[in-house]
Structure 1
Amino acid sequence: MDLTERDFESYVKTMMRSMAESLAQVTDTIARDDVTAFLAAILDARRIFVLGMGRSGLVACVFAMRLTHLGIPTYVVGETIVPQVTTGSMAGDLLILFSSTGRDGVATRFAVKAAHTGGAAICVVTGNRDSPAGQIAHYIIEIPCDPFLRPDAREERTCFSPLGTFFETAAWVFADAVISGLMAAKGVSVETMGTTHANLLGLFLIPDD
């Protein structure tokens, strides 16, 4: 499809509006009780571990960053500073897995091992509640994106959400909304979060007087 500069601008804005509308629709499908249980699990957890593959992993990383700003001890699975898992060592911890399909082999196997060996509770943020990951979870946030991907037009659907984009976008928005909920629950202000924001690189880049 050949697009002029004006057509391209219009197309991009149309896609942005379509995604915003679909996000609003999928938001209404997320069960209130699931969200309440998820928030409570985070607040009760000793430590949080987040996990995801590919772009879902990036969502997990930004969620971990904000949890850290809230003063919640959080680790991204796969990083070098993640504590060793031994029998019972994750009791009281929460592992949060982001996975559109819930079938990520490595991620799901790690979740199973953490649950059975370390004793962590498992939360899965997924597009498929009945997936292998969903079946081993203690908490599930289902973001069922497929019904909102415009099945009436194959080409438009592909452009609208290539390779799982809509789940990742919805999961990111959900994660940021959860942070807002946690701020309210913990009574943490934006100013307080700012005091825990990383600044080491910024200090390094400030020129000497």
Structure 2
Amino acid sequence: MHTTAEYAGKIVEELRRAAEQLPSEGAERLVEAVAGAGKVFVAGAGRSGLMAKAFAMRLMHLGISAHVVGETVTPGLDAGDLLLITSGSGETKSLIAMADKVKTLGGTLALVTIEPGSSIGQRADIVAQLPGAVKDAASDPNKTIQPMGSLFEQTLLLFLDAAILRLMDKRGQDSGSMYGKHANLE
């Protein structure tokens, strides 16, 4: 049995190893697509979806038109817009349907996943492969002490936050300039 601090140390070590494997090319293609999109939409299921929502929030802080698919105030996707799907497996049925739809609307599809050859990966214009343990795979080289998809979801947040820093560089913005768009009715 380990203490909470010992477990946290093991998680940080897993994240350090994962961070060393983050894809530079996929990240740069995603940053360029976000920078050039009319509007950016994000979608994901479960905890992967929560990481996508955190990314959309930071995009909004940068002054980028960002929306979460499924929210009541989300506008329609137009040609020239970007849909970013976050899915460890790339096989979530509802997300596959969105991937098909964005292509018929003339949008760009980006995927951040463990499985680039997945159904969504095959449809995507941009794929960034992150390290993460495949669910229920005892022989996985990215085996983790963490439950289920936690390593992927945490690495996803790191990857998307790093993409935000790249966008900040490109736009000449810093944290101070972003606070002007921070919620102020709290």
Counterpart for residue 117 of structure 2: 130
Distance 1:103 1:28 in 2: 26
Query: Alignment partner of 2:34: what SS?
Result: helix
Please give the TM-score of this superposition, normalised by the length of structure 2.
0.90
Unpaired stretches in structure 1, ≥5 consecutive residues: 4-9, 203-209
Counterpart for residue 155 of structure 2: 170
Distance 1:11 1:182 in 2: 38
**Displacement, 1:150?**
10
Matches within 5 A, 1:18-167: 18-85=10-77, 90-116=78-104, 118-146=105-133, 160-167=145-152
**Displacement, 1:180?**
1.3
Counterpart for residue 176 of structure 2: 191
Distance 2:168 2:66 in 1: 16
For 2:6, the aligned partner's letter is T
Distance 1:84 1:137 in 2: 19
Unpaired stretches in structure 2, ≥5 consecutive residues: none
In 2, are the aligned partners of 1:125 and 1:140 still within 8 Å (CA)? yes
Greater RCO (CA < 8 Å, at least 6 residues apart): 2
Give me the CA root mean square deviation.
2.0
Q: What's the % identity of the aligned pairs? A: 34
In 2, are the aligned partners of 1:48 and 1:93 still within 8 Å (CA)? yes
In 1, are the aligned partners of 2:22 and 2:159 still within 8 Å (CA)? no
In 2, are the aligned partners of 1:128 and 1:144 still within 8 Å (CA)? no
**Structure whose alpha-carbon radius of gyration is higher:** 1
